[in-house]
Amino acid sequence: MPAVTDEALTLIASWFRTLAEPSRLKILRALKEQGELNISELVEATGLTQANVSRHVQILVETGMVGRRREGLNVICFIADPSVTELCSSVCSNLLQRFSQQVKKLAGS
């Protein structure tokens, strides 16, 4: 594996910090499950306010995870980097497996 610079590590850490916010994960989940959505649809899908959705979408766009385009008066959002949903799926699968093992241990106690 090639050496990673401190600058690259800082960028990677920033990318993961973006995913550390539950509201952003809600937005990503909604886009993965429902496909392209406008801001109003994201508000409905996530239960967040319009201001929060807009703010979090902006951060997701800045990191390249989400893209957006204008269609008339609407801003349509979409997953721009499929690796983010792959990463989230991997993390969820890992957590599910770990929790399942913990339940089995508790049930055996």
DSSP state, residue 64 = T
Tokens 């949903």 identify what position?
85
Question: pLDDT tens-digit profile of 36-88?
Answer: 999 999 999 999 999 999 999 999 999 999 999 999 999 999 999 999 988 87
Question: pLDDT tens-digit profile of 34-48?
Answer: 999 999 999 999 999
With 70 as the cut, is the pLDDT of residue 24 above it? yes
Task: Tell me how far apart the alpha carbons of residues 60 and 66 are, in angstroms, rounded to a whole number.
Answer: 5
- pTM (2 d.p.): 0.83
Domain architecture of the chain: domains with CATH: 6-80 (1.10.10.10)
In sequence order, what E strands does 31-65 have? 37-38
Per-residue pLDDT at 109: 64
Higher-pLDDT residue of 66 and 104 is 66
Contacts for 35 with CB less than 8 Å, ≥ 6 apart = 78
Mean per-residue pLDDT for 1-15?
A: 87
One-letter identity of residue 92: C
